[in-house]
Amino acid sequence: MSTIAGTTFLSEPVISDREFDLLLTELETLEAKHPEFEDPNSPTKRVGSGLTDQFEKVPHSRPMLSLSNSYNQDELQEWADRVQKETAGDCRFTCELKYDGVAIALHYQNGGLVRALTRGDGTIGEDITTNVRTIRTLPIQLSASAPDVLEIRGEIVLPFSAFDALNARMKEEGKKTFVNPRNTASGSLKLQDSGEVARRGLDCFLYGVELEGTDLTSHSEGVHAAQNWGFKTPLVLSNAFEVAMDVAGVMRYVNRWEEARHALPFAIDGVVIKVDETVHRNSLGATAKSPRWALAYKFETEQGLTRLKRIDYQVGRTGAITPVARLEPVFIAGTTVENASLHNADQISHLDIREGDLVQVEKGGEIIPKVVGVVLAERPDSSLVHVYATHCPDCGTALERADDEAKHHCPNALGCPEQIKGRIEHFASRKAMNIDGLGDKSVEQLWSSGMVNAPADLYQLSLAPLLTLERMGETKAGNLLAGIEASKAVPFERVLFGLGIRHVGETVAKRLARHFGSIEAMRLADREALLELDVVGPVIADAVLSFFDDEAQQRHLSGLIDSGLQFVGDVESKPQGTALLGKKCVVSGVFSIPRDEVKRLVEQQGGKLAGTVSGSTDYLIAGEKMGPSKREKAERLGVRILSEVEFMEMM
């Protein structure tokens, strides 16, 4: 038995470890002799089963959305007030910890674990069931009271003790140590050797029960039911899961864990506040990225003092130069920090940061370290003003800086090694082409060998040359080639993101792809056509035009087209009617159909959706329990209010 932060964990084995190990060995022998009786959920799977195959891509039953973030209590108060108005004050809030780990979706049938999926891109995840089965605190067989078919979501974490033990082992073996528990947990779950995953001591908390098809009517009921079915839920931690009847209760929870978090055996970076009742969740709905019924409150960042040894410079895939502070090690928010971002020349000048200074370092969002101040009283007399780099640290090209940009850039896009490798890594990344086995080390190896100098070169690789590379066996090479071949089916919007056009992020790429429908239509678009999209401004439009004007970029693009990638996609559907053509509509309240369906009908009839009522609003579509403030504002501004019946008649 152990106690942490007032929490008691029971550890009461009924047999000795030696007896347990002997029984496990006997079971392994029996399974080897009688493979016809092998069970994928056997206790022997807890220790891993050697190398796994390439991870299969599997669609989620429903999107795994991210949470909207708040960094101060005023924002949290505003969100809670808005939710209470939307639900006519008839809702409860659940309060729980925001684990700094890896989201997971688990599927059970007849009480047994059948599939474990990563978040992936939120729509499609990767099947890592073999690795997840090695986590000893995760049940692979549920109690008889569990539903026959169940999906539950939660978080996999790496406790501090396991992280420290792993780093000690890495150091002893002469290998590179890991930076923080969260990234280590994520990387561990993608290892090909599940036996190594089993050694790492991962833990998990499950809480997100899919309530459809059950008698459960709230999130809190789901968490308690999950505990009874055999899951490790937030309920095992004292005061870590609470139901608050009002905002005051939420604030008490937040304030308590702002301090209590330091005694936890794993990292958290905030708390999560959710609407409890399913009926209210359905009425509140979600945006394309986040549910409106939940909010993540991030804690204030932690700071530490340490000495700045030197300032180095890194080159990004777009040529952007980032200065990096190399620090004497300092422990902040659960991890040791040795490097921190200095952002740009203006930041260095503003803070007058110099090599040798004693500096204040904080972890923004508990993850990314940055230098935020200098202790001038401790500055050495020999200190010299830092002179910002004038040439690229990688290729030696003179740096440039546009008048309207904060960062310096290396203009040698097609000759700077770090930019070339960065573009290939970005192209192969999870949110772009998602090519398994093509991380930074593999890219470095392929580039150094001369096999790959641009993304299009990946599609010319073959087995024999790959086998000449160090540590590239037939299995690894085969998996890499299979991943490259599978990427040919990746949809156009992700291929477009993977091209790495400057300023074109994931969301902009998706909108461009769905608006134009093909790379050829984009190539022919002029500046005015690009600016028609609400997500495209002058900077993005100019970046897209520059990409298509660059002859070298077009040669690389032609190579990708010839390789058979998807450069044609679905054009976003045109309105099916004109009842609301050009009209700005706000949808609020509870309807007889899901609110998202009401919004879909608005768009089908040519309407434009808005989140708040303003003087430019044409219609407020009002359901039951709509907040009085929206109605009052609409009446004051003369906005026409439509009931659900009036709206449906108009449709």
Residue 247 sits at φ, ψ, to 5 deg, of -65, -30
How distant, in Å, are the alpha carbons of 37, 154, 158 from that of 133? 18, 15, 15
Degrees to nearest 5, angle at CA 31 with 30 and 32: 90
Residue 92 makes CB contacts below 8 A (sequence gap 6+) with 218, 220, 243, 244, 245, 275, 276, 277
**What are the tokens at 224?**
């308690």
User: Residue 98 catalytic?
Assistant: yes
**What are the tokens at 363?**
């972890």
Q: In terms of DSSP H, where are the helices of 146-246?
A: 160-172, 181-189, 194-199, 219-229
How distant, in Å, are the alpha carbons of 301, 330, 382, 560 from that of 375? 19, 16, 15, 52
**What are the tokens at 110?**
């007849």
Q: What is the DSSP letter of 39?
A: -
SS (H, E, C) 130-162: HHHCCCCCCCCECCCCCCCEEEEEEEEECCHHH
How distant, in Å, are the alpha carbons of 26, 43, 286 from that of 20? 10, 11, 48
Judge whether 179 and 100 are in contact, CB under 8 Å.
Answer: no
Q: Is the dihedral of CA 12, 14, 19, 24 positive or negative?
A: negative
User: Cα–Cα distance between 565 and 581 in angstroms, integer?
Assistant: 36
Q: Which of 202, 168, 162, 205 is nearest to 186 (CA)?
A: 202
Rounded to the nearest 10°, the torsion over CA 284, 285, 289, 291 is: 50
Judge whether 372 and 358 are in contact, CB under 8 Å.
Answer: no
**Catalytic: which of 45, 57, 98, 510?**
98
Among all residues, which ones are annotated catalytic?
Answer: 98
